[in-house]
Structure formats: structure tokens, C-alpha cells
């Protein structure tokens, strides 16, 4: 086998590996993004069931702590109230904190009793995907 044939075979193998790697990366990335969108929908539903006057939720940050397994989602509600959602794993329990120091006196008003059968709330959602 000549050196030229060996180089061509080696380049062909490298090209196949690169294309396979790109395909695998894209398939994994797409699945993760849909998981994050699902979780963001769950968080908006939580807000709508427990707080009044929710019209818009814009997610601004996603952070995953591999050590603890928690996910932090930062969001702005109605363009003025910043909140942080903490999930103990994807599809886990949702915890929410208002970031009072950033809200300039604006607060969410908690409902006396959660709404169980909410239906599909008309809330504008601006999704954030992890980059």
C-alpha cells in the first residue's frame, strides 16, 4: 500500500468520525433543549396556579449544578419581578424564590388557594435554552 492510499484512508476515517460526532452532538443537544422547554412550561404553570396577575414570564438564565443535581432557572415575571426557580433534578419538585433585592418593591401576590384545574393559561412565555 502506498503512502498516498494510507493518507486517503486515514482522512476518510477521520471524516466519518467527525460527521458521526456532529450528528451525536446535535441529537443530544436537541433532546436537552426540549427537556428545558418542558421544565419552563411546568414553572409557568406553577406560577399561574399559585400567583395572581401572571401575564408574561421571560426565562433569562439556566444553570445546572452537577454536584447537587439541582437546576436553577432565573426568570422575569411581568417585566418587573425577578424570580429563581430551583428544581431537584429535571421533573423534580419546583421551589421558587423572589429576588427581592432586584424587584424595587414589586412583589408577586400569592393566591389564598392554588388553582388545580387551570386549563391552558394565556401567559406569554419567552424561553431560554442552555448554551
- Residue 15 sits at φ, ψ, to 5 deg, of -60, -40
For the stretch 35-75, pLDDT in tens is: 899 999 999 999 999 999 999 999 999 999 999 999 999 99
Q: What is the Cα–Cα distance from 25 to 22, expressed in whole angstroms?
A: 5
For the stretch 72-89, pLDDT in tens is: 999 999 999 999 999 998
Average pLDDT over residues 94-103: 90
* Nearest C-alpha neighbor of 40 from the set 80, 77, 79, 81: 77
- The model carries a pTM of 0.70
Q: Is the dihedral of CA 67, 68, 70, 73 positive or negative?
A: negative
- Pair 99, 84: CB distance under 8 Å: yes
Amino acid at each position: 500500500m502506498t503512502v498516498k492510499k494510507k493518507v486517503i484512508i486515514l482522512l476518510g476515517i477521520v471524516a466519518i468520525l467527525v460527521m458521526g460526532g456532529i450528528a451525536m452532538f446535535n441529537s443530544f443537544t436537541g433532546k436537552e433543549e426540549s427537556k428545558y422547554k418542558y421544565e419552563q412550561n411546568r414553572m409557568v404553570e406553577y406560577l399561574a396556579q399559585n400567583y395572581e396577575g401572571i401575564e408574561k414570564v421571560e426565562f433569562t438564565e439556566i444553570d445546572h449544578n452537577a454536584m447537587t443535581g439541582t437546576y436553577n432557572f432565573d426568570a422575569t415575571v411581568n417585566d418587573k419581578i425577578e424570580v429563581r426557580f430551583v428544581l431537584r433534578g429535571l421533573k423534580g419538585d419546583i421551589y421558587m424564590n423572589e429576588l427581592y433585592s432586584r424587584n424595587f418593591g414589586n412583589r408577586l401576590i400569592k393566591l389564598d388557594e392554588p388553582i388545580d384545574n387551570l386549563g391552558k393559561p394565556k401567559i406569554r412565555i419567552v424561553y431560554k435554552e442552555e448554551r
